[in-house]
Amino acid sequence: MGPSGSGKSTLLHCLAGILVPDSGEILFDGARVDAMAETERSSLRRDRFGFVFQFGQLVPELTAVENVALPLLLSGVRRTRALSKAGAWFERLGLDGLEQRRSGELSGGQAQRVALARGLVAEPQVLFADEPTGALDSLTGEQVMDLLVSAAREQGTTVILVTHEPRIAAYADREVMVRDGRVNAPDRIAS
C-alpha cells in the first residue's frame, strides 16, 4: 500500500511479469521472471497468475460467463468444460442468473465479482489485484474483498493486492509500504 503515484502498481506489474524492472530481480518458484523472454513471461501469466483490475475490464462483446471462462479458453480448455467451470463461480459469488449479461448490463459490484471469478477460475498460484475495490462504494468493496479472501483461501491462491485504502489492506496477512518508489519495511510479517 501507499499513496497515489508511489509506485505500487509499477511494482505489481513487475512482480507479475508485465513490466521488466530497470534493476533488481523478480523470483517466482525459483525462476528469474525479469530474465525471461516475453513469450515465457506470457505463458507464466496465462497459466499460473490471475489478474483483477480496478475497473473489471471485462470484454464488452462477451457475456459474463464467457468473460469468466476466458483464461481457461486461452489455456486450451474445451469450450463446454470452460463454460461449465466458469458457471460454477456465479452461485459462489452471488451472481446467479447474470451469466448471460454483458458487462454494460452489470452494476459495478457485479462486474467486479465477475472479474474476480475470471481472475480465480484457472486456480492460479498467485492472483494480482490492482485496486480491485477502487471504483466501488465501501459496502460493495468490502463484500468483494470478503469473497476474494474466502475464495483465495479455499483454493490456496496467494493474493498480491495494491490499495491505498487501509481498510482494504487490513484483509491481508502482511503489508508492504511503497513510498516515492521505494519499498518500506518489506519483511514485516503479520503476527
Partner 1 sequence: MSVPLTLLGLLEREPSHGYDLKRDYDAFFGRGKPLPFGQVYSTLSRLARDGKVVISDVAPGSGPDRKRYIITDVGATEVEQWLTQPVEPEPHLQTVLFAKVVLALMLDRPAGEYLDTQRSAHLRRMRELTEVKRAGSLVDALLADHGLYHLEADLRWIEMTGARLDALRKEVRP
Distance CA(82)–CA(70), nearest Å, equals 8
Number of residues assigned to the chain? 191
Distance CA(76)–CA(65), nearest Å, equals 17
Beta strands per DSSP E along 15-157: 27-28, 31-32, 49-52, 126-130
Q: Which of 170, 181, 182, 186 binds partner 1 (CB under 8 A)?
A: 170
Q: Applying CB under 8 A, does 172 fall inside the site for partner 1?
A: yes
Q: Which of 146, 154, 182, 186 binds partner 1 (CB under 8 A)?
A: 146
Give the pairing of strands 27-28 and 49-52.
unpaired
- φ, ψ for residue 161, nearest 5 deg: -125, 135
Q: Applying CB under 8 A, does 137 fall inside the site for partner 1?
A: no
Find the part of the chain contacting partner 1 (CB under 8 A) among 22-30, 31-39, 87-95, 165-173.
Answer: 165-173
For the chain, give percent helix, strand, coil, nearest 5: 45, 15, 40
* Number of residues engaging partner 1 in binding (CB under 8 A): 18
| 93: helix, strand or coil | coil
Smallest distance from the beta carbon of 140 to partner 1, in angstroms?
Answer: 14
Q: Which of 158, 173, 181, 182 binds partner 1 (CB under 8 A)?
A: 173
Smallest distance from the beta carbon of 169 to partner 1, in angstroms?
Answer: 7
Q: Applying CB under 8 A, does 183 fall inside the site for partner 1?
A: no
Smallest distance from the beta carbon of 171 to partner 1, in angstroms?
Answer: 6
Residue pair 114/68 in contact (Cβ under 8 Å)? The answer is yes
Residues in contact with partner 1 by CB under 8 A are 3, 146, 149, 165-167, 169-173, 175, 177, 184-185, 188, 190-191
